[in-house]
Structure 1
């Protein structure tokens, strides 16, 4: 793969670049596949890990190795197996398909969105040997007419048509009620099928030390702590969005892959004109619908846009400038970060459900999850601007 592509994505690394924990995971995973591929019950292998812990990197490395064995002319126990990697995320799917062109053992057809694969396997009444699911927390947990999914849970349907299912799962990256997962929601699946779990907890994306990662973790639980200092990670809070954007442009000129991103707090209607994010004196367009095969972060013109959780989730940037919109506020009485779901503009994320009980805490969690996704994009730096004046002043005071 090109150095640009490697730098721009979720660091799909070769075997030598995998950490000891990642290499152990890859070996454990392939051993599990060999053990369960010919068993009567579907085997489930669950990989847990926070944003930036290298889940997609090791998943892609293991899938490439599996396909090399499947397509090898030398007889082996995984030769001629039928395997897929699915992800319910358009921008990540583009990266996987591009990587297929750089790997002789991969084909673009190996990578699918879940609904088309489910529908095809159902129609032909066939079984896949192994299905890898990246970002499994984005799988639908209810029917969705827009996405042509008529079942009730995409994981259930994929298990029906697979001998082994490998899924990457992080409940802190759930971004919509229609794909709402809690860790406990996996329990019924694990109770029914033979399974193993593996936890990745080492931060690979962010060069920041443990204090930086902990600060973000605390923030996304509503807690504020002193701003960490780390010579290897540039962490700045801004009183206005324009100088933050100017610095992002400078960083992009210096090292590339530096972008503005924002919480979904600014109006946007697909294919209806240009919509803007406002951050103090800065007014800049939201990202446009991307009809190209190039992921948003790889296109040079997107330096003049603001990315969303849907264009940046799962990707690496070198520097990320994050605009915290009107839904993210501050409670001086408790000195905590608070969120206001009624100000969140992504109404598709809050599409009502009558099977989840009280939706208020779930909506708040989705907003905090989106902040976690955005704040953990940058390898070398995080820049923040808060639209809410009280939160902005409190952040500057830190």
Structure 2
């Protein structure tokens, strides 16, 4: 099989003659470009202070000449993005052909180009109106190889617009992109949800709840992102009002960048925001069409700061025709997010009765045997420590003898080569060391630290950055910022994100006594998890045991290829090392 053909020409009315001229030495190439299906990338660049930025359009066609003339002559009358491209000088066009291209394959390549280019820092605007991921077809098994060869070729032409494939794949925005190919489970779920939304809007229903549940790594974020893109690009008689909300600062930055880059929203219009902002700026008297809530287990169930209500989900249901929530009860982390069982059961059962309960069962984050995943779950929730399984897929689950060894193990996975191939690795810890935001320690230290004996590292987002570093890191999640290899992350910065390898320090709030894991609130500095929860009847209960288990679950399920553990509690560490030794001698 020959490689892809890439021809660059000026984007104007002379595209056909320009292509014919550049391909005049090869009848075969000219035929593949001019007479067969092709993909194309139209782009222009603006010079910035430190680097160029790009506006890009990606498409596919059966006739590149006719399609280009449509873009130049017809599309500008109806769409501002095409009008802008038609009036800018020095717009370039890359036309891509291959001997095995057919309609389905070019659609798949188009979708993959959208996935990658939407994750490129230099691309500030990416224009398209559809997501075209295909199912199986005659040449579908060749797509991955063809695309990798194509991207390498594009990278040689323009490294700024087409960075190394491995650099793109590590980005948080890539992992949350709406252009990922959906699994069968995700695809069926999306179709069900879209049918439900359509039905609710036609019948002018109000406060319809669609409840999507799944554990960490089940593909909830990709499904939500895909739904938001699909709803935002639907061509309807009346413009739909759709909102994406999340109570997680790091994830919010990612969604806002995606929305602005893809033209789904304008910067600052609140279409992608926090629930409190939405509730305070919208009235129940004027309901929007659809609200999508990621990490809905982080919604507040009591008043706090600028939120004066009692339950954010209830308030959202009053302000929308349809509310789609992505929920994982094992990722509720604070008392202000805590749901009384009766409340959650009532909402879940209500959704179930209306056939609005969507369950995602496939675990896709940890590239591990089911036995390995079950070992982690059993430790966290069954409070049991069993034999550490040998993983046939090569998942590296290892107990470390000290925090220094844990750090050294993580640093083995931070070479440029490994980051490019597999992604980022970082240290994490349970919230068992003091940290007060926007305040310095009173012991003279410059940072709040995770400290064990002579070893200490700054808590997340503590290390000082230059103005240039701050500017470069502005849109990056915690793990993506280069200096964070010298910090320790918490649930508040890593929840919702993947790592290649994670090194987890289990602090003194997790202990091992009488053959069981126990959670000790007295040893935790996570005040939001250990304070009493006031119930609707005004009684107070302690829910720290449940919330500290969830905290540990979030930390232990971040690593895709490996998990390294060190426990501060002597009995827990001793038991874990014993199990590690038994595993090594198997």
TM-score by length of 2: 0.63
Specify the alignment match of 1:61 in structure 2.
226
Deviation of 1:185 after TM superposition, in Å, equals: 2.2
Residue 290 of structure 2, aligned match among 130, 143, 159: 130
Deviation of 1:347 after TM superposition, in Å, equals: 1.1
Deviation of 1:329 after TM superposition, in Å, equals: 0.6
Gap regions ≥5 residues in structure 1: none
Deviation of 1:189 after TM superposition, in Å, equals: 3.5
Matches of 2:509 and 2:252, distance apart in 1: 30
Specify the alignment match of 2:548 in structure 1.
367
Matches of 2:379 and 2:275, distance apart in 1: 33
Deviation of 1:358 after TM superposition, in Å, equals: 6.3
Deviation of 1:17 after TM superposition, in Å, equals: 2.0
Matches of 2:396 and 2:265, distance apart in 1: 37
Residue 241 of structure 2, aligned match among 51, 59, 82: 82
Indicate the SS of the match to 1:251: coil
Residue 264 of structure 1, aligned match among 420, 431, 436: 431
Residue 113 of structure 1, aligned match among 274, 277, 291: 274
Gap regions ≥5 residues in structure 2: 1-117, 120-164, 441-446, 464-469, 580-586
Specify the alignment match of 2:326 in structure 1.
168
Matches of 1:339 and 1:309, distance apart in 2: 16
Deviation of 1:272 after TM superposition, in Å, equals: 2.0
Specify the alignment match of 2:185 in structure 1.
21
Indicate the SS of the match to 1:217: helix
Answer whether contact 2:215 2:361 (CA < 8 A) is retained: yes
Specify the alignment match of 2:484 in structure 1.
302
Matches of 1:298 and 1:338, distance apart in 2: 33
Answer whether contact 2:297 2:328 (CA < 8 A) is retained: yes
Residue 7 of structure 1, aligned match among 170, 174, 181: 170
Indicate the SS of the match to 1:165: strand
Deviation of 1:294 after TM superposition, in Å, equals: 2.0
Specify the alignment match of 1:352 in structure 2.
532
Matches of 2:540 and 2:401, distance apart in 1: 36
Change (3 A) 1:166 1:201: same
Deviation of 1:143 after TM superposition, in Å, equals: 0.6
Specify the alignment match of 1:150 in structure 2.
308
Query: Which digits, 9 at most, give the CA deviation of each residue in 1:287-308, with x for residues without a partner?
Result: 1269833211110111110001
Q: Which one has more relative contact order, counting CA pairs under 8 Å at least 6 apart?
A: 1
Question: How do residues 291-330 of structure 1 correspond to structure 2 at under 5 angstroms?
Answer: 292-330=474-512
Change (3 A) 1:28 1:340: same
Deviation of 1:43 after TM superposition, in Å, equals: 1.3
Deviation of 1:252 after TM superposition, in Å, equals: 1.8
Specify the alignment match of 2:406 in structure 1.
244
Deviation of 1:237 after TM superposition, in Å, equals: 0.5
Question: When the two structures are aligned, how many residues end up with a matched partner?
Answer: 386
Residue 45 of structure 1, aligned match among 184, 199, 210: 210
Change (3 A) 1:160 1:204: same
Query: Which digits, 9 at most, give the CA deviation of each residue in 1:3-43, with x for residues without a partner?
Result: 64653438235556211000111111111100112433321
Query: Which digits, 9 at most, give the CA deviation of each residue in 1:173-224, with x for residues without a partner?
Result: 1100111025642333356675610111111111011011101110112111
Query: Which digits, 9 at most, give the CA deviation of each residue in 1:305-356, with x for residues without a partner?
Result: 000100000001111100100111101x2x1111101111011333333317
Deviation of 1:269 after TM superposition, in Å, equals: 1.3
Change (3 A) 1:56 1:14: closer
Indicate the SS of the match to 2:414: helix
Specify the alignment match of 1:288 in structure 2.
461
Answer whether contact 1:175 1:370 (CA < 8 A) is retained: yes
Answer whether contact 1:173 1:370 (CA < 8 A) is retained: yes
Deviation of 1:107 after TM superposition, in Å, equals: 4.4
Query: Which digits, 9 at most, give the CA deviation of each residue in 1:239-267, with x for residues without a partner?
Result: 10111111212202222410001000001
Matches of 2:224 and 2:168, distance apart in 1: 17
CA RMSD of aligned residues (A): 2.2
Residue 103 of structure 1, aligned match among 262, 279, 283: 262
Residue 216 of structure 1, aligned match among 368, 376, 397: 376
Answer whether contact 2:229 2:264 (CA < 8 A) is retained: yes
